[in-house]
Amino acid sequence: MKAPFKLLLLATSIASVFNPLNISAQENSTDTKQVTTEAQDTQESQGIEVIMVSATKRSESMQDIPLSVTAFSQQQLDIKGASSLAGIQESTPNLNFSVQSAGQNVARVTLRGVGTETLVGGGDPGVALHIDGVYVGRNSAAAGDVFDVDRLEVLRGPQGTLYGRNATGGSVNIITKKPTDIVEGYTDFTIGNYNEQRVRGVVNVPLTDNLYARVTMMTESHDGYIKNLYESGRDVDDKDSQSGRAQLLYVNDAGDELLLRGYFSKNGGAGPGSQYLGTDISTENGYPSNYLVGVSDAGAGAAVLADAYNLVTTPSGESILPFPNDLHEIRKNAPEFVDTLIQGMDFDATVSLSDDLLLKAITSYQTNDNEILVDADGSELAIETRHRQNSAEQYSQEINLISQTDDPFQWILGAYYYHEELTERFETMVPTGLVPLDVDLGEDAVAGGGGIRQLRMASHEVDSTALFAQLSYELTDQWSVTGGLRYTRDEKEQTRETGGQVDLVNNVRFLSGELGPEGADTGKTSFTEPSYRVSTDYQLSKTNLVFASYAHGYKSGGYDFNGGASDENGDQVPYNPEFVDAYEIGSKNTFFDNTVMLNLTAFYYDYQDLQVFRLTGDGPLTDNAAQSTITGVEVEYKYQPSEDFKVDGSVGYLDATYDEYSIDIPPTDFSGNRLNYAPEWTAHTGIEYTKTIGDAYLTTRLDWSYRSDTYFDRGNTDLDKQEAFSLFNARIRYDAETYYMDLWAKNLADKDYVVGQLINPPFSCGCRTVNVGAPRTVGITVGARF
């Protein structure tokens, strides 16, 4: 506990040393907590852009709030070439993002080592996603495109008071642009290698003096980044997406707003793609030597294993070709695909009940349908496929009462309700008679292999209610304190109709030896937990803030859709909630007439009962690891000596390890190992130069990002590690009044790297299924605006 407070003193000292104003003189100045609109406009025109954020449910300058926030405007996203969360992770310290496919199609978001582990079924994210103030329960939505936004905010650290139970790692807030009272719009078209084609468009039209409409659309496609060498196979890691949003905004003469928003996002194609990491298989052809081809009725449902990859032939009767060792090559025969459709409607009301009181209410309904087919054996042989279908339906209602006075005392009161229903059907198939009949498969095994079917069907229901409050008080013109409390009750109920890996011929279930699939089992549980936060901040001057905070975060427990534990009565056993106690100190500073920005943060996490996902012989299982400690430091900086030249960047340091974590089968102690998806170092620097050419501007930007060694599995072996790597992106933009043109390139050095991993069946080889980062892509974007 001493180290964080020493760092606070250090941050305060740094701010004091660099502060160009005399602090004692500030004591006699006007209130430094309040900056007029005129002063803000002057500040923006003279230097670094001020981004207003709603991280505290109020519109405030990012530099004036005691939170670690990284924010991006649409203009910044465009010049960085970022159209999704994958693009901003390079510019955000200690953020890790990947889309993974190995029988599921989900996004994994991790902040400061805290994030999403349970990837399937009803598992909850550890980093909450909010789009226009609405919590999105299914993490597949985080893989969507980001376009026509007012800003994108990444809040690091537990945000449970204002943003709910599943924000132990933080919250990503996407705030789209609302309709305005002017006629405006723009469109652009992008082409690039891998047959990249993207069209975006926005039209904003005032329908009457009080009613405005805005329509946004985007469609994007590209060929697969991973080449399928199988003659009729589909290239994977492609894209085929369409999304749109339509809004109607009514503003009365008093300034009250009623906003109706409808939206959809569709994603198809072969999907993000996955493949075995061939280097961890020591056989001649690069594939595992043993594969589960049936279940014996002897030995309590013993596994029937065979060297399927050498015994089975291709459809043309030939032997299997060796595993492709290039990360961007596969050889798969199954027609893999992904089909995701998200649809929803929100109603957002903002009404001034009086001069001192604001009412904000958001009602939302959303559906998320997801289907995926995966070639599970990763080869040109017809050995195993996995087919998953899941549907989610969510309804939420949030009501906020917000004070809106100039008094030292400010407050927010809120109530929240969330209901979600999920259904899922997951089936894996290994055909019968996979290997020649004369192959000895052991006692009581079906000749040729009896095949395997694993069919699981589950329904899951969640009800979550919460009451929360946050109070702030200015003790002096410079010193403020804030406290917040949220009480959440989560109720979860699940029914699994079938399960287990069953031999298709003799009907024996793997591991138990019983006949047929498992009977239906159910589970019902509830959790009532508080989340809270206290912070204090001191304004050394108008441009120098120091703060300290403590937050207690809570992530709901639940049930595994596939696998999981059951008691002697056949009832499902839930895994428990996880908790984070986070201590944070920091300093936010701008110097030299707003030409330099320097933000420093240090943090310490006591991470308890963290939910860790692993695969067992009979399906996925979520454990509650005992204890973890996370410490880190983050630095964000900007330098803009003139309107023509800008430098921005960040550095994140993270020490995230399991203090206590062991499993019984097989007996393994992971204590001392690093957490998954938590590299020790992340760094970024961007350099941007703009030259005026008549009435137009020519902007050149170069971005460099770095990630140190990253482990994808708690085992921390060399095969679980992506070694440190750097990425370089570049963009040149010619921007005139009514049109613009970009030339861009991403991953200039064409670096091969892995973004995610899962240890998948066959477990006898411990084969790693990996997802791969995008190769070098180049293109041109042409746009027009009115």
- Residue range 130-185, pLDDT digits in tens: 999 999 988 777 778 899 999 999 999 999 899 988 899 999 999 999 999 999 99
Q: 28: pLDDT confidence band, cut at 50, 70 and 90?
A: very low
For residue 432, which phi and psi values (nearest 5 degrees)? Answer: -75, 160
Q: What share of the chain is helix, strand, coil (3-state, %, to 5)?
A: 10, 55, 35
> Domain tally for the chain?
1
Average pLDDT over residues 545-562: 91
As a whole number, the mean pLDDT across the chain is 88
DSSP 726-786: EEEEEEEEEE-SSEEEEEEEESTT----EEEEEE-S-TTTTPEEEEE----EEEEEEEEE-
Domain region containing 217: 2-785
Q: 35: pLDDT confidence band, cut at 50, 70 and 90?
A: very low
Q: How many CA atoms lie within 13 A of 688 on its CB side?
A: 24
Residue whose entry in the numeric block shows the structure tokens 């430091």: 633
The rounded percent of the chain whose pLDDT value lies above 90 is: 67
Reply yes or no on whether the pLDDT at 557 is more than 50.
yes
Question: What is d(CA 88, CA 80) in angstroms, rounded to the nearest whole number?
Answer: 8
Average pLDDT over residues 700-722: 94
What's the pLDDT at 24? 36
What's the pLDDT at 142? 78
H-helix or E-strand spanning residue 44: helix 37-46
pLDDT tens, 758-773? 876 655 566 788 889 9
pLDDT tens, 273-309? 777 887 778 788 888 888 999 999 888 889 999 999 9
Whether 69 and 79 have beta carbons less than 8 Å apart is answered as: no
Residue whose entry in the numeric block shows the structure tokens 């649809």: 343
What's the pLDDT at 120? 65
pLDDT tens, 320-337? 999 898 999 999 999 999
SS3 709: coil
Model pTM score: 0.90
What's the pLDDT at 290? 87
pLDDT tens, 637-674? 999 999 999 999 999 999 999 999 888 877 889 999 99
Q: 211: pLDDT confidence band, cut at 50, 70 and 90?
A: very high
SS3 310: helix
DSSP category for residue 63: G
What's the pLDDT at 283? 84
Contacts of 328 (CB under 8 A, 6+ apart): 225, 226, 227, 752, 772, 775
The rounded percent of the chain whose pLDDT value lies above 70 is: 91
Lowest mean pLDDT among 104-113, 350-359, 677-686, 730-739: 104-113
User: What CATH number should be reported for the domain holding residue 113?
Assistant: 2.40.170.20
What's the pLDDT at 465? 97
Question: What is d(CA 224, CA 335) in angstroms, rounded to the nearest whole number?
Answer: 13
pLDDT tens, 354-400? 999 999 999 999 999 999 999 988 899 999 999 999 899 999 999 99
Average pLDDT over residues 242-255: 96
pLDDT tens, 84-126? 888 899 999 999 988 776 556 678 899 999 987 766 667 788 8
pLDDT tens, 37-55? 333 443 444 688 888 999 8
Whether 709 and 679 have beta carbons less than 8 Å apart is answered as: yes
pLDDT tens, 584-610? 999 999 999 999 999 999 999 999 998
What's the pLDDT at 7? 43
Whether 215 and 183 have beta carbons less than 8 Å apart is answered as: no
Reply yes or no on whether the pLDDT at 424 is more than 50.
yes
Contacts of 175 (CB under 8 A, 6+ apart): 54, 132, 133, 149, 150, 151, 152, 153
What's the pLDDT at 761? 60
Beta strand 329-330 with 227-228: parallel, antiparallel or unpaired? parallel
Q: 19: pLDDT confidence band, cut at 50, 70 and 90?
A: very low
Question: What is d(CA 341, CA 547) in angstroms, rounded to the nearest whole number?
Answer: 42
Cis peptide before 762 (omega within 30 of 0): yes
Average pLDDT over residues 447-458: 91
Lowest mean pLDDT among 223-232, 514-523, 643-652: 514-523
Specify burial of residue 595 (Cβ count, 10 A radius: 0-12, 13-18, 19+): middle
H-helix or E-strand spanning residue 45: helix 37-46
